[in-house]
Each structure stands twice: as structure tokens, then as C-alpha cells.
Chain A
Amino acid sequence: MRISALLALLFTIPALHAGFLSPDEPESKVKCVYSGTDGHCVEPILKSQNEIVITVVGQGVAPSVTASPAQAYALAKRAAMVDGYRLIAEKVKGVEVEGQDTIKNMMLMQSTTRTSVEALVRGANITNTTFKEGLCEVEMEISLSYSRVLR
């Protein structure tokens, strides 16, 4: 009985030292929500003191038949904007993924993956636009902070 109590005490002291008794971490240090396979930080946590800026690059293509190069540019930019907003929504809110495989006689007949995103986006801005060889790329950024989220 005494030995088990002693062992419990020995295991408890390092846990207390790592948790409650240690001083708070400095605010500048970025914490990870989860890590990728290489161990790098993937998602920083939004805190009340700092703000997170998310930058994405949306891509869009003009339709093959357009009235003028200006119309092609305008339409490609629209499509790129939509793609950019989708990427922002993916990063901020997340993606719903649904996979479906059909197997017949122990053989894969069909494989489909559906992803869907739905979000209300506020305060995103276009920072840069490039149009080259029919492909329009729009660089967009959104800044996340407590004041914006709770607005």
C-alpha cells in the first residue's frame, strides 16, 4: 500500500511541474491545433492579443468564347475570386468530405469523392491580381481577430 502511494506521488510530481506549477508560456509562441506528418505547425490558435492573416491564391479561367480580351479578363477574375473565397472558407471553417466506393464481385467499380464548403465571409480583401495566358490568379487575404470574429 505504501509502495503504491509512493509510486503515485512520484508520478504526480512531474505532471504538476509540467502543468499547474509551470509559469504561463509567452504569448508570442504559436501553439498548434494539430501537427502534420512532418511535425510542423499546421493551424495556429487565435488568441485575444494577436491576429491571424490568411492568404490564398484563387485561380480562374476565361470561357473559350468571349467577345473581347477585356471580357475574358473580367470573367476569369470573377471565377478566380470565387475560388479564392472558397479557399478562405476551407481554411477558416473546414471542408465536408464524403467518399463513396462501389465494389462489385470484389472489384472496385466506382469511386467518388465529394467535398463541400458553405460559409459567410466578411472582410476578405484582394491584394494582387495577375492574368497570364488565360489564367487569372487573385491573391486574397483575410485577417482574423477577436474583434472581427465577435463583430
Chain B
Amino acid sequence: MRSRNGNFPFLFTSLALITTLALKADNYYIGYRLTAKNAQPINETLSISKAMQPCIASNNSPSLILKCTPNERLESVLQREENNFLEFASSQELHIQSNDIVGVSHTQLLNSLTLPTKCYAVEFNDESVTITATK
């Protein structure tokens, strides 16, 4: 027989799982990094990983609705609609790091933009997918 304290994490996880299943939303961790040298992009990385544990969504989180075909994976949706997703995600929070070196003979501008890896609730419908930022 479990103690009262021992049951709490089990109950909490079960409730979170049931809530997630009830909302029919999967959770994904998405991160992005872009490096531009002399105003030209040189490296771009979009990382998508399915969350192993459900994330807790807040009530007034912003959402993005993208078109998708039936049985399409999130990776291919985001590759196609990358601009829309980046505008949506970057309007919330991003990290910018910039280093410029200006000399007599050469000039180098190096900018790096990073979207912190964050959990998103992703709900697939028939012809659209709703991506909601969670905290």
C-alpha cells in the first residue's frame, strides 16, 4: 500500500496524461538556430523532438494554425511553413547574439539567432494543425 506522499506524483502524472489525451494534443519540443555571416545565412537548424512527458499548457497561450494534409508529420509541415512558424515563435521569445569586427582590411558581421527549445502542444485535425506555445 502506497503512502499519501508516495501517491501524489503518480496521481499528478496520471491527471496530466489524461488531460493531454482528452485534448488530443501531442507535445513537441522545438528549437531553432540561425547563423548569418555578413548578412547572409550560413547555418540553419530546426530541431523537433516529441516530448516524453506531457507539458503543462497555460490558458492564454498564443496559437498558430497551419494547413496540413492527412497523415502528414509535423516535421514536413514545419519545413513547408517554416516562415510562418518562425514569425509566430520569434514574436514570443528569442535570443540574439551578435559579434562584428571592423578592421582596416576586412569586416566581419556574425549574427546568431536562437529560439530557445520550448514545448509546444500540437493538435492535428483533418486539414490543419494547431500549434500552441506552452510555458
Contact = CB atoms under 8 A, between A and B. Distances in A.
Interface of A: 59-63, 74-75, 77-83, 85-86, 88-89, 110-126
B66 interface: no
A124 B83 CA distance: 15
A89 B96 contact: yes
Interface in B88-108: 90-104
B103 A110 contact: yes
B40 A85 contact: no
A117 B110 CA distance: 11
B123 to A, nearest CB: 25
B100 A60 contact: no
A60 B83 contact: no
Contact of A116 (B36, B93, B94, B98): B98
B96 A75 contact: no
Contact of B40 (A62, A74, A125): A62
Interface residues of B, number: 28
Nearest to B112: A82
A116 B91 contact: no
B95 A119 contact: yes
- Looking at A77, A79, A85, the one whose CB has the most chain B CB atoms below 10 A away is A79
Contacts of A110: 103-104
A58 B4 CA distance: 57
A110 B102 CA distance: 11
Contacts of A120: 93-96
B39 interface: yes
B39 A112 contact: no
B130 interface: no
B100 A126 contact: no
Contacts of B87: 126
Given A63-B40, A75-B41, A79-B40, A113 B34 contact: no
A60 B100 CA distance: 15
A77 B93 CA distance: 19
B101 A86 contact: no
Contact of A83 (B36, B83, B90, B94): B36
A116 B98 CA distance: 5
B72 interface: no
Given A74-B83, A86-B111, A122 B40 contact: no
Contacts of A126: 87
B99 A122 contact: no
Contacts of B102: 112-115
Contacts of A59: 39
Given A75-B40, A78-B34, 5 more contacts: A60-B36, A75-B41, A79-B41, A83-B36, A111-B104
